[in-house]
């Protein structure tokens, strides 16, 4: 169906040789035929390097019995190298957002104007959607529709904006979203199906979701008891204050404040259960923090000013519903600040019962071969392998060579 949609004409199908009840495209490069017997015992499989930039955790999967492999003359076997984004498969994600925008708009959510999946969000973790907003509650309507649309059900963080901003301009988008945001009322949480590759879920394939409604609010959507700060503190003031007051904070990035974005990022070394929750409520009640709407917490080994890496690590390590902590003042009117814990989870400190995977690091030969091919591909200025920063040291989630 997808191939027919893209080509605007039907795909010719033929019967398989050894599985004649199944039809396959006649001009496919390779066909691997076989069967799965549901009565057979499952087999232990993995781990594998995957597009998230982490190794997928091993688990039980069905056994596939191969009965034939056929191919056409001069067949091409397309393959990609996966790992820390951006890799080749990142652009499959960008193609997906363009390809599926029209079908989603036509069949399910007509008010959608545009959609963007940042590379650092590895397809499903972070999706930004622009809607043509006309009535109160429309953001929640779109949220529910998108989380029920095919593989969009695996989305973890959904950010909504309206016709007032271009969503591909990330600076303007962040300024717009945070100016319209009440952390206490405009962020919705849910639970549902998640990608089995999502290691942050407490249970395999099931976890929390979050929608940040950054649309301009209509009268019916505004909480009149909330103080929406108009002036943000200077970044240097906040950075100095937090580093002096909290020894567990190893680095602070408050530079977004100077750009009109009410969000800071903290690198924290956890050492006790409930550490991030306690720390967040202490910070929220502190002096000069009333204008901060959101704090992102990352592992102490992450440099918070490296926004692409920080966002990738944060999105992978967050279960939004489980790892969110809302500070709301008991004053009238009130201020609010949402803390999101994107640190590595463990049994000792977080009562996290699953294994935690390693970050993928490509071996030297793979990096060398990609580097040598770069200038012949016409894909823009040379980018060094993102694996290099993890080869000589461990970053909380341990790096493993050999992806």
Domains of the chain by residue range: 2-71, 88-221, 235-350, 360-401
88-221: CATH class: alpha beta
* Helix or strand holding residue 68 (H, E): strand 64-71
Q: In the prediction, which pLDDT does 354 show?
A: 94
Nearest to 177 by CA among 139, 147, 145: 139
Q: In the prediction, which pLDDT does 186 show?
A: 97
- 3-state SS string for 18-40: CCCCCEEECCCCEEEEEEECCCC
Query: What is the value of pTM for the model shown?
Result: 0.90
Return the number of other C-beta atoms located less than 10 Å from residue 39's C-beta.
Answer: 4
- Same fold yes or no, 88-221 and 235-350: yes
pLDDT in tens, the chain (403 residues): 778 877 889 999 999 999 999 999 999 999 999 999 999 999 999 898 888 999 988 899 999 999 999 999 999 998 888 888 888 888 888 887 888 787 777 778 899 999 999 999 988 899 999 999 999 999 999 999 999 888 889 999 999 999 999 999 999 999 999 999 999 999 999 999 999 999 999 999 999 999 999 999 999 999 999 999 989 999 999 999 999 999 999 999 999 999 999 999 999 999 999 999 999 999 999 988 999 999 999 999 999 999 999 999 999 999 999 999 999 999 889 999 999 999 999 999 999 999 999 998 888 998 999 899 999 988 889 988 888 888 765 444 444 444 3
Is 50 labeled as catalytic in the residue annotation?
yes
**Strands 48-49 and 112-116: what pairing?**
unpaired
Catalytic residue among 29, 50, 186, 365: 50
φ and ψ at 210, to 5 degrees? -145, 135
Nearest to 301 by CA among 317, 325, 286: 317
- Asked: is 235-350 a CATH 3.40.190.10 domain? The reply is no
């Amino acid at each position: 169906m997808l191939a027919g949609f893209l080509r605007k004409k039907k795909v010719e199908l033929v019967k398989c040789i050894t599985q004649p009840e199944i039809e396959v495209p006649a001009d496919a490069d390779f066909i691997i035929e076989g069967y799965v017997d549901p009565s057979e015992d499952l087999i232990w499989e993995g781990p594998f390097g995957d597009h998230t930039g982490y190794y997928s955790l091993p688990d039980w999967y069905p056994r596939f019995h191969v009965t034939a492999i056929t191919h056409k003359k001069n067949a091409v076997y397309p393959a990609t190298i996966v790992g820390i984004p951006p890799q080749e498969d990142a652009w499959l994600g960008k193609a997906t957002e363009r390809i599926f925008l029209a079908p989603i708009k036509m069949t399910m959510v007509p008010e959608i104007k545009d959609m963007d999946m940042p590379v650092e969000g590895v397809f499903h973790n972070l999706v930004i959607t622009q809607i043509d907003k006309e009535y109160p509650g429309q953001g929640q309507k779109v949220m529910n529709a998108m989380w029920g649309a095919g593989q969009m059900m695996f989305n973890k963080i959904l950010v909504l904006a309206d016709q007032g901003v271009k969503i591909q301009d990330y600076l303007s988008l962040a300024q717009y979203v945070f100016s319209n945001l009440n952390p206490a009322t405009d962020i919705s949480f849910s639970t549902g199906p998640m990608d089995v590759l999502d290691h942050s879920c407490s249970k395999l394939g099931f976890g929390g979701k979050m929608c940040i409604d950054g649309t301009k609010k209509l009268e019916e959507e505004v909480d009149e008891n909330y103080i929406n700060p108009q002036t943000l503190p200077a970044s240097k003031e906040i950075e100095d204050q937090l580093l002096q007051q909290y020894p567990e904070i190893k680095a602070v990035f408050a530079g977004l404040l100077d750009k009109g974005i009410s969000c800071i990022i903290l690198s924290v070394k956890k050492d006790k259960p409930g550490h991030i929750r306690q720390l967040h409520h202490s910070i929220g009640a502190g002096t000069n923090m009333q204008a901060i709407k959101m704090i992102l917490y990352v592992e102490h080994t992450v440099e918070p000013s490296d926004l692409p890496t920080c966002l990738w690590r944060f999105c992978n390590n967050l279960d939004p519903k489980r790892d969110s902590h809302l500070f709301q003042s008991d004053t009238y009117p009130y201020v609010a600040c949402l803390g999101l814990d994107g640190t590595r989870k463990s049994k000792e400190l977080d009562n996290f019962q699953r294994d935690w995977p390693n970050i993928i690091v490509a071996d030297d030969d793979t990096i060398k071969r990609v580097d040598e091919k770069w200038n012949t591909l016409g894909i823009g200025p040379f980018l060094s392998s993102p694996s290099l920063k993890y080869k000589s040291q461990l970053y909380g989630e341990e790096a493993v060579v050999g992806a």
